[in-house]
A and B are shown apart, each in its own frame.
Chain A
Amino acid sequence: MASGSQEKLYGPSLLNFFIYNPKFGPREGEEEKKILFYHPSDFLFPPHRTFCPTKPAKSLHTQKNRQFFFEPEEHFWMVMVIDSVYGAVLQQCYNMYKLFNGRFSKAMDEGGVALLRERLEKFFYRYLQALHLGSCDLLDVFGGISFFPLDKMTYLKIQSFVNQMEQSLNLVKYTAFLYNDQLIWSGLEQDDMRILYKYLTTSLFPRHSEPELAGRDSPMRPEMSGNLLHYGRFLTGPTNLKDPEAKFRFPKIYVNTENGYEELHLIVYKAMSAAVCFMINATAELTREFCEQLDNLVGPRLTLLASDICEHHNINRRTPGLEKEPHFKFIYFNHMNLAEKSTIHMRKTASVSLTSVHPDLMKILGDINSDFSRVDDDEEIIVKTMTDYWVVGKKSDQRELYVILNQKNANLIEVNGKQPIRETSTVF
């Protein structure tokens, strides 16, 4: 890995990753058949070790490594061997695979083990390279969705836009609307949106962020030259509608995998900071005419809406009192709607997420969280670090709030009283 040396300094690294099914190759000497995928490729499967648990243990500590086990489908085991990191990352790996390929058993039904191996290889080879465990933290555990704060009227305008577009482009089955990489509306079920959101914000959007920053006349946005009426463009599918060679192929995703499959084309269309995902039944054929219709219909309205949202957002940001840098930082998560909010994290990029606090503090947050997850009751944990930081974790009615205070002389009572619960809960 390119940045491996830096990662070893602070965080965990991926030692091994493999997927196996104990039912494959039951006879002695055929153990390698159980393995469906392994990483790195020169990893040798230890034949005499039994690590096929009969009950789903979450993790297994060996002498220096930690192995995470996860059984997403019956008899299919995913194992990750890392120094120490959250099991949530493993689950996310599977969900991401499932979003683009469907369940393991789907590949099995369609083409047996060979097809499954092929798909695993194709997907995980690239996915694992982009998986920067060093930057995984509490937010990856939550796997939450950051919602864009918005006034009611602008929100209703977006609703109206989404409904009208769905009606006009009558192929559309689901729509999601994002602004500034934050979610505003999703027609998808929560769990599907959660993984799609992860894909959009950590993979698709970062890859396409550059043209927005480029000037209007820059060659980076060739589609602009012919169309001055709007700023809309496709992030998936054709990059330039005018190109006679353009291909009208979109990535396919699988949702609602619990109750049979829904295979969908994923169209992501963006104008300025507003992005809209149209999901269309995969059986429908997407033509040049359809894409042109979409571009003509959605482009101008989305451009207008984006500037509307931007205007409102700026008004809200100018509210007095909020300009001052707060003397605390927080992470908030609500299990009920997966809403997350962090003042610790800077903008996520494709490779790493930047945090504004020391990794040791992030590790403390992770530890508090794992303590919380062991009990159902409301709890509160206050930690004072060696470096005189106060870290407060509070869990109340499905919400978790973590606050880092850097007031050196604050005492426990002050710390307890200064929880910014209200400020966050007014957002959601």
Chain B
Amino acid sequence: MEDEYYLELCDNPVQFENASSVNNVFFDEANKQVFAVRSGGATGVVVKGPDDKNTVAFRMDDKGEVKCIKFSFGNKILAVQRTSKSVDFINFIPDLPHLEYSQECKTKNANLLGFCWTNWNEIVFITDQGIEFYQVLAEKRSLKLLKSQSINVNWYMYCPETSVILLSITAAGNVLQPFLFRNGAMSRMAKFEIELPAVPKPAKSSLSERDIAVATIYGQLYVMYLKHHSRASNHAGAEVVLYHLPREGSCKKMHVLKLNTTGKFALNVVDNLVVVHHQSSQTSLIFDIKLLDGDAIPTIHQPVLPARSIHPYKIPQIGPAAVASQTPVPCELYSSTWSVFQPDIIISASEGYLWYLQVKLKPALRLLKDKGRLMDFLLRRRDCKMVILSVCFQMLNGEEKDSLAVIATVFDKLNQVYKEFLEMDQSYTMAMESGLTRGNTSQKRPVRTQAVIDQSDMYTHVLSVFTEKKDVSHKFITAVLMEYIRSLNQFQITVQHYLYELVIKTLVQHNLFYMLHQFLQYHVLSDSKPLACLLLSLESTYPPAHQLSLDMLKRLSTANDEIVEVLLSKHQVLGALRFIRSVGGHDNISARKFLDAAKQTQDEMLFYTIFRFFEQRNQRLRGNPAFTPGEHCEEHLAYFKQVFGEQALMKPISQ
């Protein structure tokens, strides 16, 4: 059970003074800051961000109960709402006056529902009668209205990542009007309607703020609606409906996540997974909207993994009284005092903790049996590399090893992602080289995610280890290596030499030279100089390797020197000469090297032939058969005279 918890709270939560009668706690989703306001700020305000270094502490005058408090981006300006009519500002920029200034909402009789910073100096007021978009002029301690819009608002929701504010309008509240804020401009996006569950008349249903969340998933903005089915209907359970909100165009209902149960739920988004917490069962579910089971729209999704609780968490005892022997206290998970924020934040105000929710991938290995689906799931996760590699290792080893068909599927999935990265990287490099993007910063070097498992990763962590194992049959090893090579080829990825070496090593170890020969025959092991050299080294155990190696060198056509060396070392002096002449390189070869080799054979006629060949070359190139001192052939000249006599030397031919 221990290794089945796939969700956990982070180890280093943000700690703050717990909420009490004298201490009010606020959370700002935009900056992810927790504000602990003691006595309306008079006895101190402590602001803690996701990073401990960002703690800010200050005091402010107690001018009444604080309803909302938020810093603008970069902690430049603090905004505090104390009444339903106005917002107060304090500059936090050095050298600017610290004195508070205030802004009332423009619309008469309007009630301020809240405000959102959309930039370091831009702020949006949301009232029950519309929205007002202001620029804060910090030096002047005043605000300038940029734009406003009148509309009856029930409630609002802000997605800071995309600077989109959703307004709930109409009586039932189920029509959502999004506004986008960018570069000092406010633009109205297409409004859309959330389908409420059918209820029998005369009951009236309306859309509650609690049932809506906004988050970006796989780079796209989604409005998530927690749809509770009424008891009267026949539906088995609640569902989460995902509306895709594109920057342009209309919003579309895209995904339906089946919860298969009813009760109180809360939503998070972690690593592009939608996490649904269920309070009464104290478990959570995760959904991956890219894990498709069909192509119908909206797509119906079942949970990726069975429901599990968040990993048990213990709160360490802190404070000056803490002693080493004190045992940590178990934390109550799924507590009714928890507040859940997008995308991945859980806050327990009563205990003074802010956690980030995390997904652990390892338990998925046990919980998701279908390896193809498991790979699809893992390849889209952030810290997936080592887990994927361990899945690969497991599927090749032990009692539970998978069939070759499954292994082939997994390799194909990995290489698909690998290929996509290689292509992007290549087109980036080409664009850079051709200089087309000079001055155009839009094309960035593609980011290599952890899901890119290349040949080197596979070799180091999986294949080289696996082939060393004693309890695996060589047949299986060869089959796996060939399957990996097949998959690489299928995606037109150049296979690295070390993989071929592994294949050859395995075959040689088991004397399967005939198989090796067939692979080379069909060029499955692609030609390369290192491979040709490896083959050459096998000649003593498998003589045909010599022919295979030479053939490969010939096909490479850039290895003429190597071929000559190989032939000379085998005392095939004439063969070497014939070869170099056939490729037109005979005018540049060293006479001394060939004469040395010919002399070593102790075949006098061969020596004569070779000697004569070079005399003729000298005649042709220089008009004289004699060797030049630079060729260092004195020793061979002496030997020639000794064996065949001075008169056998070629006479210069005048042209």
Interface set of A (CB-CB < 8 Å, partner B): 147, 150, 152-153, 155-157, 159-160, 163-164, 166-168, 185-190, 193, 336-337, 339, 378, 397-398, 425, 428
Q: Could you say which of B403, B405, B544 contacts A337, with CB atoms under 8 Å apart?
A: B544
Q: Which residues of B contact A187 (CB under 8 A)?
A: 515
Q: Which of A167, A185, A425 is close to B518, meaning CB atoms less than 8 Å apart?
A: A185
> How far, in whole Å, are A76 and B461 apart by their CA atoms in the complex?
56
Interface-forming stretch among B240-248, B334-342, B432-440, B483-491?
A: B483-491
Write the chain B residue with the least CB distance to A193.
B514
A156 adjacent to B485 (CB under 8 Å): yes
Chain B contributes a number of interface residues (CB within 8 A of A) equal to 28
Identity of the chain A residue whose Cβ is nearest the Cβ of B478 in the assembled complex: A163
B 495-541 contacts with A by CB, 8 A: 514-515, 517-518, 521-524
Select which of A147, A153, A336 is within 8 A of B490 by beta carbon: A153
How many whole Å from A258's CB to the nearest CB in chain B? 13
What are 22 A-B interface contacts by the 8 Å CB criterion?
A: A150-B522, A152-B524, A153-B486, A155-B524, A160-B404, A160-B482, A160-B486, A163-B482, A163-B483, A164-B403, A164-B404, A164-B479, A166-B475, A167-B476, A185-B518, A188-B514, A336-B517, A336-B544, A336-B548, A337-B518, A337-B521, A378-B575
Are the CB atoms of A186 and B403 closer together than 8 Å? no
CB B547 to nearest CB in A, in angstroms, measures 5
The interface residues of chain B, by DSSP majority, are classed as helix
A398→B547 contact, CB < 8 A: yes
- Interchain CB contact under 8 A, A156 and B486: yes
B403 near A155 (CB under 8 angstroms)? no
Taking CB atoms, residues of chain B closer than 8 Å to A185 are 518
Cβ–Cβ < 8 Å partners of B517 in chain A: 336-337
- Cβ of B80 < 8 Å from any Cβ of A? no
Assess A167 versus B514: contact at CB under 8 Å? Given A152-B524, A159-B482, A159-B486.
no
Query: A167 touches which one: B404, B485, B486, B550 (CB < 8 A)?
Result: B404
**Residues on the A chain within 8 Å of B404, using CB:** 160, 163-164, 167
Task: Report if B408 contacts A (CB, 8 A).
Answer: yes
State the CA gap A164–B548 with chains docked (Å).
28
Distance of A50 from chain B, by nearest CB (Å): 40
CA distance A336 to B586 in the complex (A): 29
Q: How far is the CA of A163 from the CA of B489 in the complex (A)?
A: 17
Q: Is B61 an interface residue (CB 8 A)?
A: no
Contacts of B518 in A (CB 8 A): 185-186, 337
Is B551 part of the binding interface, using a Cβ–Cβ cutoff of 8 Å?
A: yes
Instruction: List the A residue with the shortest CB-CB distance to B479.
Output: A163
Q: Is the pair B408, A160 in contact by a Cβ cutoff of 8 Å?
A: yes
15 more A-B contacts (CB under 8 A) besides A339-B521, A397-B547?
A: A152-B524, A153-B489, A156-B489, A159-B486, A160-B408, A160-B482, A160-B486, A163-B478, A163-B482, A164-B404, A164-B408, A164-B479, A167-B476, A188-B514, A378-B575
- CB closest residue in chain B, given A426: B555
Partner of A155, one of B475, B478, B522: B522
CA distance A337 to B547 in the complex (A): 10
Contact A152 B482 (CB under 8 A): no
- The reply to whether A336 and B522 form a contact with Cβ atoms under 8 Å apart is no
The one of A147, A190, A339, A397 that contacts B514, using a Cβ cutoff of 8 Å: A190
- Of chain A, the residue at the smallest CB distance from B490 is A153
| C-alpha gap A88/B547 in the complex (Å) | 25
- Interface set, chain B 553-573, CB cutoff 8 A to A: none
A13 to B394, CA, bound (A): 63
Q: Does B514 contact A186, Cβ atoms closer than 8 Å?
A: yes
Alpha-carbon distance A155/B485, docked complex (angstroms): 11
Contact A428 to B514, CB < 8 A, known contacts A160-B486, A167-B404, A398-B544 = no
B493 to chain A, nearest CB (A): 12
Q: How far is the CA of A305 from the CA of B278 in the complex (A)?
A: 50
> B486's contact among A150, A157, A336, A378, by CB below 8 Å, is which?
A157
Shortest Cβ distance from B514 into A: residue? A190
Taking CB atoms, residues of chain B closer than 8 Å to A337 are: 517-518, 521, 544
A188 to B524, CA, bound (A): 19
Instruction: Tell me which residues across on chain A come within 8 A of B544, comparing CB atoms.
Output: 336-337, 398
* Cβ–Cβ contact B551 & A425, under 8 A: yes
- Residues of B close to A163: CB separation below 8 A: 404, 478-479, 482-483
Give CA–CA (A186, B515) in the complex, Å.
7
Q: How far is the CB of B110 from chain A (nearest CB, A)?
A: 69
Min Cβ gap A124→B in Å is 29
A397–B486 contact, CB under 8 A? Answer: no
B476: A residues at CB distance < 8 A: 167
Bound-state Cα–Cα, A350 to B555, Å: 38
Contact B521 A152 (CB under 8 A): no
Name the 3 nearest CB pairs between A and B, nearest first: A163-B479, A156-B486, A336-B544
A416 to chain B, nearest CB (A): 13
Cβ of A428 and Cβ of B403 under 8 Å apart? no
Q: Which residue of B lies closest to A173 (CB)?
A: B475
Residue of A nearest to B567 (CB): A397
Q: A163-B404, A164-B405 known; A152 and B522 CB under 8 Å?
A: yes
A398 to B575, CA, bound (A): 14
CA–CA, A397 and B566, complex, Å: 14
- Contact in complex: B482, A167 (CB < 8 Å): no
* With contact pairs A187-B515, A397-B550 given, residues A167 and B403 touching in the complex (Cβ less than 8 Å): yes
CB of A90 to closest CB in B, whole Å? 25
Chain A residues with Cβ under 8 A from B489's Cβ?
A: 152-153, 156
**Residues of chain A within 8 A of B482, CB atoms compared:** 156, 159-160, 163
Q: Which of chain B's residues have a CB closer than 8 A to the CB of A186?
A: 514, 518
Digitize B406-450: 1 where CB-to-A-CB distance is under 8 Å, 0 elsewhere: 001000000000000000000000000000000000000000000
| Contact yes or no, A147 B403, CB < 8 A | no
- B521 pairs with A147, CB closer than 8 A: yes
- Bound CA–CA A104/B548 (angstroms): 36
Bound-complex Cα distance A244 to B390 (A):
49
Contacts of A397 in B (CB 8 A): 547, 550, 575
Cα–Cα distance between A339 and B515 once the two chains are bound (Å): 14
How far apart are the CA atoms of A187 and B474 in the complex, in Å?
13
Query: For residue B483, which residue of chain A has the nearest CB?
Result: A160
Residues of B near A425 (CB, < 8 A) are 551
